[in-house]
Structure 1
Amino acid sequence: MNLVPKCIICEQVPEKGIVEGVFLNRKFICDSCEEHIANVMPGDQHYDEIVEKIRLIWNHNNSLTNTFVNKNYKQ
């Protein structure tokens, strides 16, 4: 079985797999989307969509961290 990453932004699988992207908080972003994120400007056609997907990555990680901290915090 081959495991291949799927980009959280464009939802595509890179042709060369994992070597064509990065992981951010356990979510894969392909090189093409990484470049697009670096160059997108407010007001661009896909700006709001990209911001929302980045928020999903951030919120997913924070909810996992908060669950762990709340579960293991003792007063």
Structure 2
Amino acid sequence: MRYTILMKSYGIDFRKRVINYVEAGHSKKETCQLFGISTNTLYLWEKQLKEADFFLIKNILDNVEVFSDFIGRFVVK
């Protein structure tokens, strides 16, 4: 007998609402109960958000460095 685990997919807007609710000062337990998600799901979303922020900032800084090098070619010394 084979068992299939069904995972529910949540949209970006829903995830943002949940994260914003926690950031507004509500407890994680209260948030999970209100939105009907597990605490593991919330912790996973928070982890993914931190990782996404890190890579976004790194990408921006890398682009600033490339742009700075490009502009530096045209500056007369």
Structure-1-length-normalised TM-score:
0.39
Higher relative contact order (CA 8 A, sep 6+): 1
Which protein is richer in strand relative to its size? Answer: 1
Which protein is richer in helix relative to its size? Answer: 2
Larger Rg: 2
